[in-house]
Amino acid sequence: MCGICGIVNLKSAESVDKNTLLAMTQAMVHRGPDEQGIYHQPQVGLGSRRLSIIDLAGGQQPIANENETMWIVFNGEIYNYRELQIYLRKKGHVFRTQSDTEVILHLYEEFGLACVEHLNGIFAFAIWDGTRQELIISRDRMGIKPLYYTETATQFIFGSEMKVVLAHPAVQREIDLISLNEYLSFEYVPSPRTILRHIYRLEAGHTLRYSVKGVQLHPYWNVSFARSESRPPVNWREYGTAMYDTLKNAVQQELVSDVPVGVLLSGGLDSSTITALMVKLYAGKVDSFSIGFEEASFDESHYARLVAKHLGTNHHELILTGHLAADMVSTITDFLDEPFGDSSLIPTFLLSQFARKYVKVVLGGDGGDELFAGYPTLVAHKLIEYYERIVPWSMRAYLAPAILNLIPISFNNISFDFRVRRFLAGRGVPLQARHHRWLGSFIDDEKNLLFQDWLKPVLRDTYAQPYLHAHQCDAELPLNRILYNDMKMYLEGDILYKVDRASMAASLEVRVPFLNREVVRFATDLPLELKLRRLTGKYLLKKTMEPILPHEIIYRAKKGFNMPVAHWLTSKLRDLTLDMLAETSLKQHEFFNYAYIKRLLDEHFAHQRDNRKSLWTLLIFQLWYDKYMVRKA
């Protein structure tokens, strides 16, 4: 696992500046504290920071082919690299190392851009092809590893994080107003945009070629539900064994490492499934890691302890106090180079930091909800259809809002009033927009009050990106379309971004077996009824794991990995929030109307409304803006 960066100049006689390349490489030390390497020539510079996991002695980057006409820098792990290496040796390729990095380079020599089709792993890599005078960068199918890029008048610049690209002095910093609009609703900026104009995130399942002809994008893979919807109705038992074997093989593949491997265990079904399979396969006792909260409604650590005891792991637990989390909020932008409104980033970072004291690599349960329909929003889509069909219009229009106003406001985790308000916010809204309303923060009516008038004319439809994905999806069933959208947006833009930033800030590698190539293929081929059966999500996964995990773990209500933000905004974070959202702070950019923000603050502090999502989304943007956009004296 590493961080990578580079500069290519094919449009002028100016040489790539070595000091700039070193500054970019230094900006990602946290991604690879073990080693630094660069390749520098007049037209090209490649940089790497390495967190050594495989071939500890010989895997230093950048790595060249036999005659040094091609060079590679690589971030990630290739789980089938040993099998590929055997094939390549038989084809006559000579290896200098035992690393998976070198396998990719020789695979490119053999297959060109099609090399990515043979890789099972998590990756972002760059290859300089000196013979063809072109740069190739590529990202894995699901977007587990990040990659950013931009062009100046003469140079192409890329890096594992946006702050790495910003370390180049020629890169301009200008807010993309469309991205700002999307961030306020989704709590992240969907790919390929970023918060800054002209800096892009390479989309998952894409390869980019840069030459004197400029940038050429090549999609090489996409999610497909064609087989899922062409299969006849079946009994879950016909798929149960295959489900178990596919997951087991994925965990087996992702245990490949020359250093110890642990597991992140929340006590939910997904992480418990990965832990159970790892216990069966790992040579030695498994170290598991979980985090708990002081606030009772947010704390689920007892479930993790139950699973750890049931499976016999060597369990480690960190209890998150309000002061510990609140103290790091003001410094969150040290490793957060884009605005990101998912507050679970903080416990994810603290858990990663905690696990890093024991291991360099962990497995995690991310991806299970998106693949196997685990989110409560999918059930809610079904329920709201019944609600609008059965409940008379007059009751929906007048009685429901009146009753809603009588429900007491609670700041607890996924409280009753929070769920009801979210549910009713989706009434009468098209499917794609409704889904993101439930997951995200500001809706359009609220942004109309938030934004100053001068920027409103340039904003496009907030949900243009979800509608685009819906158009590109080959599924016919509405809920399969939602699963597709989640994989393209929420999974890549929120969940995987969060895990990458939080874990790499702690120099910890997180692997995600649910997003293994073979598991994704199995899951997308499954009939929808085996994912969501009536009102039961992850149906097949639950039935498969019944003989292995405790019943209360498999069938407990899903809460998610949330923080007590609503409470903290009125207490530990109150002063910081008031400072960052003060009228003087907002005048630094003049995007937002202070009067509306003051209303949100007053309502929240008086417990009249739960404005946690809106205020947190704004607070993080202000912290990011102050760090990356305000010129310091």
CATH code for position 34? 3.60.20.10
Pairwise pLDDT comparison (372 vs 299), residue with the higher score: 372
Average pLDDT rounded to a whole number, residues 444-453: 95
Please check whether residues 115 and 235 belong to one and the same domain. Answer: no
Please check whether residues 37 and 173 belong to one and the same domain. Answer: yes
Residue 422 has pLDDT above 70, yes or no: no
> Whole-angstrom Cα distance, residue 84 to residue 119?
9
Average pLDDT rounded to a whole number, residues 176-196: 97
What is the residue type of 458?
V
pLDDT, one tens digit per residue, over 287-307 is: 999 998 877 767 788 999 999
> Whole-angstrom Cα distance, residue 105 to residue 118?
12
Q: What's the confidence (pLDDT) of residue 618?
A: 98
Name residue, tokens 């407990």.
556
Which position among 2, 5, 115, 473 bears the catalytic label?
2
Give the pLDDT band (50/70/90) at residue 419. low
Tell me whether residue 465 is in a domain. Answer: no
* Three-state helix/strand/coil letters over 54-109: CCCCCCCCCEECCCCCEEEEEEEEECCHHHHHHHHHHCCCCCCCCCHHHHHHHHHH
Q: What's the confidence (pLDDT) of residue 85?
A: 96
Q: What's the confidence (pLDDT) of residue 348?
A: 94
Residue 202 has pLDDT above 90, yes or no: yes
- The tokens describing 370, both together, are 């998106």
The structural domain count of the chain equals: 2
Residue 51 has pLDDT above 60, yes or no: yes
Last residue of one domain, picked from the residues 219, 237, 270? 219
Relative to beta strand 261-264, strand 361-363 is: parallel
> Whole-angstrom Cα distance, residue 242 to residue 626?
51
Three-class SS state of 359: coil
Residues contacting residue 445 through CB under 8 Å, at least 6 positions apart: none
Give the pLDDT band (50/70/90) at residue 379. confident
Give the pLDDT band (50/70/90) at residue 426. low
Distance of CA 255 to the CA centre of its chain: 21
> Whole-angstrom Cα distance, residue 603 to residue 199?
37
pLDDT, one tens digit per residue, over 4-22 is: 999 999 988 899 999 999 9
Residue 437 has pLDDT above 80, yes or no: yes
Residue 633 has pLDDT above 50, yes or no: no
- Provide the β-strand partners of residue 4: 48
- The tokens describing 469, both together, are 């994905």
Average pLDDT rounded to a whole number, residues 515-534: 95
Please check whether residues 20 and 129 belong to one and the same domain. Answer: yes
Q: What's the confidence (pLDDT) of residue 387?
A: 64
Distance of CA 124 to the CA centre of its chain: 14
Residue 238 has pLDDT above 50, yes or no: yes
- Angle of CA points 220, 38, 8, to nearest 5°: 55
The most confident of the ranges 55-69, 90-104, 174-188, 282-296 is 174-188
Residue 500 has pLDDT above 80, yes or no: yes
Average pLDDT rounded to a whole number, residues 108-130: 97
The CATH number given to whatever domain includes residue 532 is 3.40.50.620
Residue 325 has pLDDT above 90, yes or no: no
Going by the DSSP 8-state scheme, the letter that residue 398 receives in this structure is I
Please check whether residues 171 and 269 belong to one and the same domain. Answer: no
CA end-to-end span of the chain, whole Å? 37
User: Domain residues for 275?
Assistant: 228-373+477-554
Residue 596 has pLDDT above 50, yes or no: yes
Residue 2 bears catalytic tag = yes
Count of CA atoms in the C-beta half-sphere (13 A) of 398: 4
Residue 502 has pLDDT above 70, yes or no: yes
Average pLDDT rounded to a whole number, residues 451-472: 93
Last residue of one domain, picked from the residues 519, 538, 554? 554
Predicted TM-score of the model (pTM) = 0.93
